[in-house]
Amino acid sequence: MKFALYSTIRKLKVNCKETFHIFLNELKVVSHDRGVVVIFILAVLAYPLLYNVVYKQETLSKLPVAVVDNAHCHASTELIRNLNATPELNVYSVYTSLSEAREAFARQKVHGVIYIPSDYSKNINTGQKATLSVYCDMSSFLYYRTVLQGANHVVLDQNKDIQIKRLSEQGITGEAAQIIAEPVPYNDVVLFNETGGYASFLVPAVLILILYQTLFFGITILAGTAREENRFHVLVSISEHKGKTLRVVLGKSGAYFIIYLAWSIYVLKVIPMLFQLPHIGNSIDLIGLMIPFLMASIFFAMTISVFLPNRETGMLIFGIFSLILLFLGGVSWPLSNMPGFWKAFGWIFPSTHGIQGYIKINTLGADIHTIAKEYHTLWLQTLLYLLLCVGAYHWQIKKSLTKARLRRIEAHRRESATEKHPKEPNNTTDYKSES
C-alpha cells in the first residue's frame, strides 16, 4: 500500500515537473517570436488606447443643421434661437427654400434640416395645430439621434410656453396653468451610461474582443511557425507515454493564461478607469469571470491551430469574424431579437459569453451569481474545448509518429539496398577521364 502511494506521488511529481518544463519552454518560444511579441504585447497595449482615443468625444455636440423659415415671424425666430442654444445643435444657416437646404445637405455641410411652414404663426395664434418637419441624416444613427433629440427638446419647451400663454388669455395663471400645461411631468433617468456616450456603449465589448482575438492570433501564429519550420515534434512531444499529451496541453496553455491574466487587469480595469468608462463592477467577480473566459479561449484557439497550415491563415480566417463576433456579442443588436441560427452559432465562441458577462459586471454592477448563465457556459466551453484540444493534439502526435516511422522504414530500405548492390565504377566515365 505504501509502495503504491509512493509510486503515485512520484509519478505526480514527474508529471508536474515535465508540465512546468513545457510551460517554461513555451514562454521562451513566445519571447523569441517577434510576430507573437507584437500580438501578445504591443497590440494588447496599444489597441485599447487607440479605440478610446478615437471615441473620446463620446457624444456629438453642436451638430450643424439647416433651417428653412417660410414663416418669417416672431415665433419662428424664437424657435431658431432656441435650436441654436441647445448643446446638440448648431444652426448652420437659415434658408428660404428646401432646395437650398437640400444642396447644403448633399454637400454634408449640415446633417439635418428643420422646415418651418408659412402658416406656422397663423396656426399658433388661432389655436390650431402647427406642424414642423425635421429631416435627419440617417447615414449615421448618431446624426439621427442628435438632430431628433435636440429638435424634440426645443419643440416640447415651446409647446409648454404656448399652452401657458393660451391659458393666461383665458384667465388661468400661475401654478394652475403649469399643471394644466404639463399634467404629467416626467424625469428621464439614464442608468449606467449617463452621458449616452458611444464609447461607454461600444468600447467594453471591444475590449473583450481585443483579448480574445490577439490571444487567438498569437496561438495560431506559433502553431503555423511550428509547421513551417517542421519542428512540431519539439513543441508537441511525440512520445506515446500515457498522459503526455495532456501535460503538453496544460503546459502550453498555462503560459498563455499567465500572460493574458495580467493583460486582463490592464485592459478591463485600468483602461476603463483611465478613460472614464463604466467600471462599477467588483474586481473579484471580474477575475472570476476572466478565468473560465481565458481558459475557454485558449483551448479553443489551440484546437483550431492544429489544423492551420501556416502563420497567416489564422489571422486571415479570424479577421473575417471580427465584425461577426461583435454582432454576436449582443451589443450592436439585442440577443432577444437575434435569429435562432445566429444565437446557436454565437454559442461556439467564448467571446459571446465573455462580452455579455463583462458588460453585466462592469457596466451594470452585477455579481458572479447574477451572471450564472454566462459563467457556467464558459466553464462548460472550457471543459469541452479542453477535451477537443487534447484529442486534436493526440491526433497530431500520432500523425507525427506515423511519419517518423515511415521515414525510418524508408531509410532502412535504402541502406539495405546500398549494402546488397554496392555502386559499381562507371567505366565510360573512367575511360573518358583517362583519355
Domains of the chain by residue range: 16-54+196-403, 63-181
- How many other CB atoms sit within 10 Å of the CB of residue 258? 13
- Grid cell in block for residue 260: 493574458
Q: Specify the pTM.
A: 0.79
What is the pLDDT at residue 317? 73
Rounded Cα–Cα distance for residues 269 and 261 (Å): 12
pLDDT reading at 113 higher than 90: yes
Sheet strands side by side (includes 63-69): 89-95, 63-69, 112-116, 133-136
- Grid cell in block for residue 74: 416672431
The architecture in CATH of the region 63-181 reads 3-Layer(aba) Sandwich (3.40)
Rounded Cα–Cα distance for residues 329 and 160 (Å): 42
Burial (CB < 10 A; 0-12, 13-18, 19+), residue 265, is middle
What is the pLDDT at residue 300? 94
- Grid cell in block for residue 106: 448633399
For the ranges 207-216, 221-230, 291-300, the lowest mean pLDDT is seen at 221-230
**DSSP state letters, 154-182:** HHHHHHHHHHHHHHHHTT--HHHHHHHHS
Amino acid residing at 331: V
- Which range is most confident: 271-285, 309-323, 375-389? 375-389
Residue 70: CB partners within 8 Å, gap ≥ 6? Answer: 96, 115, 116, 117, 118, 120
Q: Residues 82-100: what's their mean pLDDT?
A: 90
